[in-house]
Amino acid sequence: MTERTTGWFEPERIESAIAALAEFGAYGETGVARLVYSPEWVAAQDQVAAWMDEAGLRVERDAVGNVWGFLDGRGRDAAMIATGSHIDSQNPGGRFDGALGVIAGVTALAALRERFGQPERTLAVVSLVEEEASRFPTANFWGSRAIIGRIGAEEPRRLRGYDGVTMIEAMRDAGLDAAHIPEAKRADIGTFIELHIEQGPFLEREGLPVGIVEAITGYRQYLVTLEGAANHAGTTPMDLRRDPMAGAAEIIGGVIDTAHRMGRPCVTTVGRVNVSPNERAVIPRQVAFTVDARSPLPDQRETLLARHEALIHEVAERRDLALHLRIDSDRQPVRCDPETVAVIAAAAAAAGVPAMKMTSGAVHDAMQMAEIARIAMIFVRSRGGISHSPEEFTTAEDAALGIEVLARALHALAYRA
């Protein structure tokens, strides 16, 4: 690895861009609550468009409100090299999740234009509409899904936010007409590289500023509903009970233990439990809970899911409980493009930025883009591994290093014929 002399980017400038964007939807001292299509979201997207314009990029807004900045290449027909992320946030979330990837893209393209002029292949940065599902629980990557052409015709009418507003109405409030959504579809993206905060503890534990993602996790999310017989907590002997809580306890303990024993990188979480009735002195009639199981390794994911499902069925049967097992979402892991991963690793080495290869346990827009493009991701260290919280923090120095790796990788891909 070459020794690092001076970086391409000043941390202070990255820091002030992060702070400026965080003004839109500011929440407390360090948080952001910027829900898709809200007035503060519109203002933030306008700010991003203004930055793209200042950077000398050709700015376009598509039919769902994704903002694109293009640095047109000489080769008109060649598929473009794109980067970017989302600017909506959790409610509230931090100022880095998504936003850093958008700022990184604009900053990188501005620097490439200044240093190297016109590329061979067109470079693009996109500020995506929605990733967090914080306003519409099932919007499910609204911005990137529009780009890959996977938004169903009935969705804008059907989707309703926590505020009761339909997607059609929310889009109208932001000056957009849902009837035009199909026009957001693109077929000209060859490669998509997303820079994102890690949102986990690995880089901090390794003492490294940057990670290079090789695969994004696959997952399956279940709703498990167990039904037994409600009865008096004092008068019903243990051996005569059909107690769904006993079954739930056994399954919840079991699935978590299974993931723990199988080891990294698989994870299983039970995050939500509904008990009915939810009373101190009543054996419940019904217990429903979620199971979220993930692994970036296809074989490990299959083994994990098979063990979970076998346990759920076995416990329900043995305890004479009625079982309803619903799958709410299911997705195979996505592999990053090995050639693009190698380009990013070479970029990190050339910049003298220590980096490690890793997997992503969180899902990202890049996962959607994988349906139409080669994808890769660059992670930047998160302090304490914390995200989806105003406590989220990444140092400006780490951000600047990540952006340099991104810029050098984009250069390697776009400035060769």
Q: Is residue 97 close enough to count as binding Zn ion by CB under 5 A? A: yes
DSSP 8-state assignment for residue 240: G
For 194-216, letters b (16+ CB in 10 Å) and e give bbbbbbbebbbeeebbbbbbbbb
In the numeric block, the tokens 């409980």 are attached to 321
Q: How far is the CB of 97 from Zn ion (least distance, A)?
A: 4
Instruction: Please calculate the CA angle 261-262-268 and round it to the nearest 5 degrees.
Output: 90
User: Which among 23, 97, 84, 107 has a CA at the least distance from the CA of 393?
Assistant: 97
CB atoms within 10 A of CB 11: 16
Residue nearer to Zn ion on the CB measure, 351 or 363: 363
Least distance CB 24 / Zn ion (angstroms): 16
Cβ-based nearer residue to Zn ion, 122 or 359 = 359
Least distance from C-beta 98 to Zn ion, angstroms? 4
Q: Per-residue contact track with Zn ion, 214 to 253, x per CB under 5 A?
A: ----------------------------------------
CA distances from 233 to 23, 230, 276, 278, 284 (A): 54, 9, 14, 12, 9
Min dist CB 125 to Zn ion, Å, is: 16
Residue 144: CB minimum distance to Zn ion, A: 11
Secondary structure percentages of the chain, helix, strand, coil, to 5: 40, 25, 40
Residue, CB closest to Zn ion: 98
The angle formed by the CA atoms of residues 411, 86 and 389, to the nearest 5 degrees, is 120
Strands (E), 33-169: 58-61, 67-71, 80-86, 123-128
In the bound state with Zn ion, the residue whose beta carbon lies nearer, of 228 and 333, is 333
- Site stretch for Zn ion (CB under 5 A), options 95-103, 234-242, 267-275, 409-417: 95-103
Nearer to Zn ion, 132 or 227 (CB): 132
Find the part of the chain contacting Zn ion (CB under 5 A) among 89-97, 104-112, 155-163, 304-312.
89-97
Smallest separation (angstroms) from Zn ion to the CB of 364: 6
Interface with Zn ion: number of residues (CB under 5 A)? 2
Binding segment (CB under 5 A) for Zn ion, from list 52-60, 94-102, 167-175, 395-403: 94-102
Nearest-approach distance from CB 131 to Zn ion, in angstroms: 5
Q: How many helices (H) and strands (E) does the chain have?
A: 12, 18
Contacting range for Zn ion; rule: CB under 5 A; set: 93-101, 110-118, 210-218, 220-228: 93-101
Q: Could you give the CA distance from residue 269 to residue 350 in angstroms, rounded to a whole number?
A: 39
Closest CA to 406 of 121, 211, 203: 211
Give least dist CB 118 to Zn ion, A.
31
Indicate the Cα dihedral angle 72, 186, 404, 385, nearest 10°.
160
Considering the complex, state which of residue 97 and residue 398 has its C-beta at the smaller distance from Zn ion: 97
Q: Kindly state the smallest distance separating residue 143's Cβ from Zn ion, in Å.
A: 12
155: contact with Zn ion by CB under 5 A: no
Nearer to Zn ion (CB atom), residue 97 or residue 130? 97
| Site for Zn ion contains 98 (CB under 5 A) | yes
Nearer to Zn ion, 195 or 255 (CB): 195
- Of 97 and 392, the one with the shorter C-beta distance to Zn ion is 97
C-alpha distances (whole Å) from 258 to each of 91, 108, 320, 323 are 32, 43, 23, 20
Task: Compute the distance between CA of residue 11 and CA of residue 2 in angstroms, rounded to an integer.
Answer: 21
Query: Minimal distance in Å, beta carbon 84 to Zn ion?
Result: 11
Q: Which is nearer to Zn ion, 64 or 100 (CB)?
A: 100
Identity of the residue, 98 or 200, whose beta carbon is nearer to Zn ion in the bound complex:
98
Residues that bind Zn ion (CB under 5 A): 97-98
